Amino acid sequence: MTVNTQPTTETPDPRAFGLPLVEGGSLPAELHSLVSSVHDLIDAVGNTRADTETLAEAAATVRGLTDRLDVDRRQVGTMVTRDLGDGTTEIGTITNIVAGDTNPAAPRLALMRTPEGMRAEVTLNTIYQGPPGLVHGGWIAAMLDQAVGSVSSVETSPGLTARLEIDYRRPTPLFTPLEITSWVERTEGRKVYVAGRIRAHGQVTAEGKALMIRVEVPE
Ligand SMILES: CCCCCCCCCC(=O)SCCNC(=O)CCNC(=O)[C@H](O)C(C)(C)COP(=O)(O)OP(=O)(O)OC[C@H]1O[C@@H](n2cnc3c(N)ncnc32)[C@H](O)[C@@H]1OP(=O)(O)O
């Protein structure tokens, strides 16, 4: 078995595959503000006990806004650059459910590069609830998938998750700062073995191990 411990960095340009690429810094402040407002709206809708008249009025208002916004859609697969805090950038889909800049359902997980791999802090509201007051187990897996996928992409080259294994060590609380870290353990050709961890109050709540398969880019 050949073990390559010196990953190569080669990020293909998505435009070569017909995918639009947007500079993250070029997204207007008004769009960020809209995404943030709709994020808060989702939380409010999920928890409201408003009277039926208010609910009906809100539904009509939201329907009207949807119709106004849904006139000029981005192409599916639109990519965006994101600053990783160390002078490097990564490229990901703009509506990525975990980290997408324009996805109001995303918790805005901003992974930054560290000497060990990647790290993010996030505090989750009831949009991500599974058991009472706790983060949904599938969402924990989604966040770890993103964290390991991102570190694999940045430290080697973009790939897809072939295998993901999660150990749920303790309940992961809502409304609590969570620290998410990820790192590359080793690479073997196209196979990248990665791992990640979620901590709350310094205690590990979940750990993940994954196998990423680097995408073969045609010449
Ligand atoms: C870009 C910016 C940051 C992005 C972050 C994104 C994070 C989110 C990541 C995701 O959620 S990806 C979406 C979920 N994953 C998928 O949809 C992948 C679906 N599976 C596939 O498309 C293919 O199975 C895959 C590309 C993973 C592999 O297919 P290939 O045909 O390219 O590879 P192949 O099947 O020949 O396997 C290559 C090697 O990996 C091994 N392998 C593949 N799947 C495996 C598996 N499940 N378990 C163990 N080993 C596996 C396989 O045995 C082989 O080993 P050897 O080279 O030693 O022979």
Whole-angstrom distance, CA of residue 200 vs CA of residue 128: 16
**What are the sequence ranges of the domains in the chain?**
13-106, 109-214
For the Cβ of 149 lying below 6 angstroms from any atom of ligand 1, the answer is yes
Given this model, what pLDDT does residue 7 score? 41
Which of 213, 215, 216, 217 has the most ligand 1 atoms within 8 A of CB, as the residue to mutate? 213
Mutation choice for ligand 1 from 160, 182, 214, CB with most ligand atoms inside 8 A: 160
| Nearest atom in ligand 1 to 158's CA | 1
d(CA 211, ligand 1 centre) in Å: 7
- List the chain pLDDT tens, one digit each, 219 residues: 223 333 445 678 899 889 999 999 999 999 999 999 999 999 999 999 999 999 999 999 999 999 999 999 999 999 999 999 899 999 999 999 999 999 999 997 999 999 999 999 999 999 999 999 999 999 999 999 999 999 999 999 999 999 999 999 999 999 999 999 999 999 999 999 999 999 999 999 999 999 999 998 766
pLDDT of 219 = 63
What atom in ligand 1 is closest to the CA of residue 96? 6
Q: Measured in angstroms, how far is the CA atom of residue 72 from the centroid of ligand 1?
A: 34
DSSP 8-state symbol, 85: S
Burial (Cβ within 10 Å: 0-12, 13-18, ≥19) of residue 216: exposed
Q: Is 213 in the pocket of ligand 1 (CB under 6 A)?
A: yes
Atom of ligand 1 nearest to the CA of 189: 57
Alpha carbon nearest to ligand 1 atom 12, residue: 160
Give 90-93's long-range contacts (Cβ < 8 A, gap of 24+). 90/11, 90/150, 90/153, 90/154, 91/11, 91/14, 91/21, 91/158, 92/150
Res 10: pLDDT:
60
CATH of the structural domain 109-214, one choice from 3.90.550.10, 3.40.50.300, 3.10.129.10, 3.30.1130.10: 3.10.129.10
Label residues 183-206 b or e (16+ Cβ within 10 Å = b): bbeebeeebbbbbbbbbbeeeebb
- Ligand 1 mean position to 15 CA, how many Å? 23
At 8 the pLDDT is: 44
Instruction: Name the residue at shortest CA distance from atom 4 of ligand 1.
Output: 150
Nearest-atom number in ligand 1 for the CA of 162 is 27
Q: How far is the CA of 190 from the centre of ligand 1 (A)?
A: 9
User: Is any ligand 1 atom within 6 A of the Cβ of residue 21?
Assistant: no
ipTM of the predicted structure? 0.96
